[in-house]
Amino acid sequence: MIRSLTEEAPRIVTPPQRRISFWAALLVIVIFHAVGFWGLQFSGRPTYFQELTPLNLLLTNVLLFSLHRHWNWPFIAFAVTTVVVGFLAEVLGIHTGLLFGNYNYGAALGLKLWDVPLLIGLNWLLLVYTTGTIVNRLSQNLLIKAAAGAGLMVLYDFFMEPVAMQYDFWSWQNDQIPLSNYLGWLGLAFVLQLFFHRTDTWKQNPLAPWVYVVQLLFFIGLYLFLVM
């Protein structure tokens, strides 16, 4: 019987070149986020570093998915669907107030379509993929894994939201982040996590947990400076 890609596989020794690729990619991601943190908080020119946000996000995605193995059709379908669903959910949110509440995007995330930055769908993919990879070995129960992954995404969003408002990523009506935002994130994240864990593809990218941790620490650091 052919073993599913999502099942436990025999331990494979990582080739030296792949280990080098992992450490090189992680080093670049850490450096870029550290420079971004310094630039936003201490450089005196935060606007300049805000404009580099799309480049940082694109670079992080390229490095992350360069270490993904088994680019099969189920994974490609998952990736494309997540990007499209994430983007369209934001379009719906912007124009109706449904799902998340009343908000508008600023200029920091780059080129927009229907008032939503094109990179937003890619950001949803990155978050679903990294958190899904983290919780994949947590349990055999699909609902538990999906709930845990969605919880990690909401935790990330909790620290990101005030920072996003400060640096013109987006703004909320009356400068208040509504509870509906977190509930909407939880619901959509849960559905996309279910999709990820039901997709028959490789879920062991060694860089994925580190991307989540680096980005989470980045926003926690900026959040703490805001509230201090």
Asked if the model's pLDDT at residue 2 lies above 60, the reply is no
**Tens of pLDDT, residues 20-58:** 689 999 999 999 999 999 999 888 787 888 888 999 999
Can you give the pLDDT at residue 96? 94
14-18, 48-52, 87-91, 210-214: segment of lowest average pLDDT? 14-18
What residues are paired with 116 via a beta bridge? 113
pLDDT, tens digit, for every residue of 97-125?
899 999 999 988 889 999 999 999 999 99
**pLDDT for residue 18:** 62
Cite the DSSP H helix spans in the chain.
16-42, 46-50, 53-66, 73-96, 119-135, 142-166, 179-198, 208-227
Residue with more model confidence, 17 or 159: 159
Q: Is the dihedral of CA 201, 144, 216, 160 positive or negative?
A: positive
**Residue 149 covered by a domain:** yes
The two most distant CA atoms of the chain are separated, in Å, by: 61
**C-alpha separations of 135 from 11, 60, 91, 170, 199 in Å:** 19, 20, 29, 29, 15
Tell me the pLDDT tens digit for each residue of 158-167. 999 999 999 8
Assigned domain for 2 exists: no
Assigned domain for 172 exists = yes
Q: How far is CA 187 from CA 140, 183, 216, in A?
A: 21, 6, 20
Structure-model confidence comparison of residues 201 and 14, the more confident one: 201
Q: pLDDT tens digits, residue range 130-154? A: 999 999 988 889 999 999 999 999 9
d(C-alpha 197, C-alpha 203), whole Å: 9
Please indicate, yes or no, if residue 216 is contained in any of the structural domains. yes
The answer as to whether 55 is a domain residue is yes
Task: Please list, in sequence order, all residues whose beta carbon lies within 8 angstroms of the beta carbon of residue 88, skipping any fewer than 6 positions away.
Answer: none
Is 82 within the bounds of a domain? yes
Assess if residue 221 is contained within a domain: yes
Residue 47 covered by a domain: yes
For residues 77-93, give the mean pLDDT. 97
Residue type, position 105, single letter? Y
Mean model confidence pLDDT for the chain: 90
Give first-to-last CA distance, the chain, whole Å. 58
pLDDT value at residue 113: 95
Q: Which residue do the tokens 């799902």 mark?
A: 99
> What range does the domain containing 127 cover?
16-227
Structural domains of the chain, count: 1
176: which residues sit within 8 A by CB, 6+ positions away? none
Higher-scoring residue by pLDDT: 86, 52: 86
